[in-house]
Amino acid sequence: MGDIDYDQARRVLDEHFVQVERLHLLNKGPVTPPDVEAACDAVFSSNTQAYREVLLGCVVAKLTDPKISIRQPYVDQGDAAFSGRTLDEKVINPFLQTAQIPCSRGPYLAVFRRGVQFVLSTRGGLKDKTGYDALLQIFDYIELQTEPSAVSDLLDHVLRKFIALREAADIQIARLPRISLSQYGALLDGLLGTPSGGRIPVILVVAMLKTIKAVFRLDWEIEYAGINVADAAAGTSGDITVKSAGVPVMILEVTERPVEASRVQSTFRAKIATSGVVDYLFLVDLDRVSPDAVEEARKYFAQGYEVNFVDVSTWVLMCLATMGVGGRSEYNTSLTKLFGDPQLPNAVKVGWNEQVLKLTTG
């Protein structure tokens, strides 16, 4: 019988998924041979959704133990057979449910006759023969590969298809209950550690600016680029521009990338000197700010400009502590609304739901 370490199989799946999801949020994806890509499209467009779950299970099984026969999902079928049902129950279905990807509630083998083998003779008893033919085509491709990297790349492509499937689904946003200040710290750390293509830090900051405006009844206009549009393309002075009476009073740049002197210089030329705003704030992980960037900011301070670097989580927490219970309630409302934006990728919404669930379940 094929030897599957189910814990290892889940680790492989989780590790690949994190990387694929990160690339997806940046509109990048793995490269797959055109004929295999077309076959995957056919499998995922099939009304028999078990086909795609079988495909995922078999690819993971092959990566975990290359000696496995992916055609034989019952242990009594041969020396290289494996238990497709056990793999589904322990790894595949729990993974899909955790990732909030539409999936079967029962075992995927249930749609096939008992003792099925994934061979051409099985085709006759199936409703969707086209989808099954595509599945067999992918199995042929897997069996021809001599390098694990090819199967690994195929797993990434299959996971990208599952992510696309989730993007088409209606993901409901979890409501954030009243939580303590220390719990906010855990929530912020969890969210900032979630791959989002830079979207989550911007949401956290925009939600806080909206909260400050509401709590202190300010006349602020808060402008920020769409979550899928670069700030230069949107024609704004920075990631976020705060205006009072129509006049810019502060520009904030929220970034996950390292900040070096060259970036401070280009920001000054393109966004500060041309806007007339003297207060520019980088909200960034301070470990990513180089000493030469700090020195460059000091030079601009001597010229009358304020260029400062602040840690996102620290700034949000200090604002929450200052504004009290009413402010924290307002922040909850702003956060939930922004994470519920229809234009926001579902991958980001799932990340929000996972972090809220951690707080509410302990």
Strand-strand pairing, 306-310 and 279-283: parallel
> So what's the pLDDT on residue 232?
41
Tokens linked to 246: 């129509």
Contacts of 171 (CB under 8 A, 6+ apart): 100, 346, 349, 350, 353
Using pLDDT thresholds of 50, 70 and 90, give the confidence band for residue 362: low
Q: Averaged over 61-77, what is the pLDDT? A: 94
> So what's the pLDDT on residue 81?
95
Tokens linked to 40: 């995957």
Cα 267 to Cα 102, 150, 199, distances in angstroms: 43, 42, 20
Q: In what order do the strands lie in the sheet with 247-254?
A: 220-224, 240-244, 247-254, 279-283, 306-310
Contact 221/190 with Cβ under 8 angstroms?
no
Contact 341/176 with Cβ under 8 angstroms?
no
Supply the mean pLDDT for the chain.
91
> So what's the pLDDT on residue 60?
97
Mapping DSSP to helix (H, G, I), strand (E, B) and coil, where does residue 114 land?
coil
Mapping DSSP to helix (H, G, I), strand (E, B) and coil, where does residue 357 land?
helix
Tokens linked to 142: 């897997």
pLDDT exceeds cutoff 60 at 215: yes
Mapping DSSP to helix (H, G, I), strand (E, B) and coil, where does residue 180 land?
coil
Cα separation of the two ends of the chain: 40
Contact 61/125 with Cβ under 8 angstroms?
no
Cα 334 to the chain's mean position, in Å?
A: 21
Tokens linked to 124: 């006759």
**Which residue from 271, 185, 186 is spatially nearest to 236, judged by alpha carbons?**
271
DSSP string, 223-273: EE--TTS-HHHHT-SSSEEEEETTEEEEEEEE-SS-B-HHHHHHHIIIIIT
> So what's the pLDDT on residue 2?
60
Q: Who has greater pLDDT, 197 or 329?
A: 329
DSSP string, 299-312: HHHHTT-EEEEE-H
> So what's the pLDDT on residue 95?
96
CA torsion, points 307, 309, 315, 316, in degrees to nearest 10? 90
Interatomic CA distance for residues 155 and 254, integer angstroms: 33
Q: Which of 34-38, 55-59, 72-76, 267-271 has the lowest mean pLDDT?
A: 267-271
For Cα atoms 72, 75, 76, give the angle at the middle one, nearest 5 degrees: 95
For Cα atoms 207, 213, 218, give the angle at the middle one, nearest 5 degrees: 165
Interatomic CA distance for residues 230 and 225, integer angstroms: 7
